[in-house]
Amino acid sequence: MTAILELREVSVEFPTRRGTLKALNEVSFSIAAGEVVGVVGESGAGKSLTGAAIIGLLEPPGRISKGEIFLSGRRIDHLSDEEMRPIRGKEIGAIFQDPLTSLNPLYTVGHQLAETIVTHLPMTWSQARSRAIELLESTGIPAARERIDHYPHQFSGGMRQRVVIALALAAEPKLIVADEPTTALDVSIQAQIIELLKKLCREQGAAVMLITHDMGVIAETADRVVVMYAGRVAELGNVRDVIHSPSHPYTVGLMGSIPSVHQHVERLVQIDGTMPRLNAIPAGCAFNPRCPQVMSQCKVERPQLRQIGATRAACWLQKEKEHA
C-alpha cells in the first residue's frame, strides 16, 4: 500500500527567550490509504502538535526545524501559506475537539459547507448546496434539508460534531486529521460519532490520523497506534499488539492505569511522577526517571525505534532481553 502521509524524523521547535524548546523530536510514521492510525499520549506528549505540523498550522514561533512531511509523495512541510491553502481542506481535512469553536457562529451551517465545497471543487453555489445536504444526510443529521439553514448554536454538541465531520469530508480529502474528535462529547454520542467517522472514511478511502488520549477509542477505531511521550514516539504497532503485548514500559504502565469494567483490581497500575516539562527533558530516554526498569544506559543514550516482538519500541530494555 502506498503511504498517503509520511513523516520522516520531524522535529518542531519553539525558540523562546530562555532557549529553544524541542516539542517534537524526530517523529516518524506513515499512514496508508484507508488506514486509521491512532496517536495516543498524555497531555503535553506532542500529539496535537504533530497534527498541527502536518496541517501546517503551527502557532508561531513554533517551526519545523528538521525532517520532512510527505502527502501522497509530495513534500508539504516547507510550503508557504499560499501554497498550503489549497491543500488544506481539499487534500487534508481537519476535525477538532470542540465543535463549537470550529464553526463560525455567524453563518449558517449550509453556508459554511457550501463555501468549502465551492472553494475546493468545481461547483456552483446551488450545486454545492445540494451536495451539502447530501453530506449532512450522510452524517446522520435528521431533516438535513431544513437543518442546513440553521446556525451552529441551534445544534447540540453531537450534531455539531457531525457538521464538522461533514465539513472535513466536503472536498473528499485523502487525509483526515481528527484531533480529539469525541473528547467533548458524552459517551453515548461518542460511540455514534466514532462509528460515523469510521464508516465515512471507509467509504471514501481516506487515511485517518486519530489523535486522542482515550485508549478505548483507539482500541475500537484504529488499525495502528503511535504512542507518544515527551515529543517522541515511544512505541508503534498494530492496535492489538500495542494493547495486548506492549513492549515499552511506558505503554505497559499506560495500559495498566486504565480502569476496566471487565475485571476488578484493588489497585490500578500507576506510573509515578509526571511527564517532564519541555525545558527539562532528561538525557537519554525521556521516560527514564519514571521507568520501573531503568538501566544506566537509559540515562545516557537515547534509544531508537526498533522491532521488538510484534511492535516497534524505543527502549533499551528489550535489547538486553534479546541478548539474554
Partner 1 sequence: MKSAAQDRPLVEVHDAARWFDVSAPWLERVLSRKPRTLLRAVDGVSFSIRRGETLALVGESGCGKSTIARLLVGLYPLTRGTITFDGQPLSAMDGPGGLALRKRLQMIFQDPYASLNPRWRVGRIIAEPMLAHTSMSKPQRDERVDALLTQVGLHPTDRDRYPHQFSGGQRQRISIARALAVSPEFLVCDEPTSALDVSVQAQVLNIMKELQRSLGLTYLFISHNLAVVHHVADRVGVMYLGRIVEIADRDTLFKNPRHPYTRMLLSAIPDMTGAGVRRTPVAGEVPNPLNPPPGCTFHPRCPFARDLCKTESPPMLTQGVNQVACHGVAQGWPMYTEISVAAL
Check binding of 203 to partner 1 (CB under 8 A): no
Quote the least distance from Cβ 214 to partner 1, whole Å: 7
Q: Edge-to-edge strand order for the sheet containing 305-308?
A: 92-95, 175-179, 207-211, 36-40, 224-229, 232-238, 311-314, 305-308
Bridge partners for 94 per DSSP: 177
Q: Are 237 and 230 in contact (CB under 8 A)?
A: no
* Total of chain residues touching partner 1, rule CB under 8 A: 45
Check binding of 215 to partner 1 (CB under 8 A): yes
Site for partner 1 (CB under 8 A): which residue of 63, 75, 202, 240?
A: 240
In the range 76-95, which residues lie near partner 1 by CB under 8 A? Answer: none
Check binding of 261 to partner 1 (CB under 8 A): yes
Binding-site string for partner 1 from residue 146 to residue 185, where x marks contact by CB under 8 A and - marks none: ----------x-xx--------------------------
Site for partner 1 (CB under 8 A): which residue of 126, 267, 323, 324?
A: 267
First to last CA, the chain: 36
Check binding of 189 to partner 1 (CB under 8 A): yes
Which triple of cell numbers denotes residue 24?
Answer: 517534537
Quote the least distance from Cβ 12 to partner 1, whole Å: 21
The Cα 165–Cα 100 span in angstroms is: 12
Check binding of 239 to partner 1 (CB under 8 A): yes
In the range 16-55, which residues lie near partner 1 by CB under 8 A? Answer: 42-43
Give start and end residues of each alpha helix (H) in the chain.
47-55, 81-84, 109-120, 125-138, 144-147, 157-169, 187-204, 215-221, 239-244, 249-256, 317-323
DSSP helix, strand, coil percent of the chain (3-state; round to 5): 35, 25, 40
Nearer to partner 1, 58 or 103 (CB): 103
Check binding of 280 to partner 1 (CB under 8 A): no
Which triple of cell numbers denotes residue 254?
Answer: 499506560
Check binding of 254 to partner 1 (CB under 8 A): yes
Quote the least distance from Cβ 247 to partner 1, whole Å: 16
Which triple of cell numbers denotes residue 256?
Answer: 495498566
Task: State the residues that interact with partner 1 by CB under 8 A.
Answer: 42-43, 156, 158-159, 186-192, 194-195, 213-217, 219-220, 239-240, 243-244, 253-262, 264-272, 274
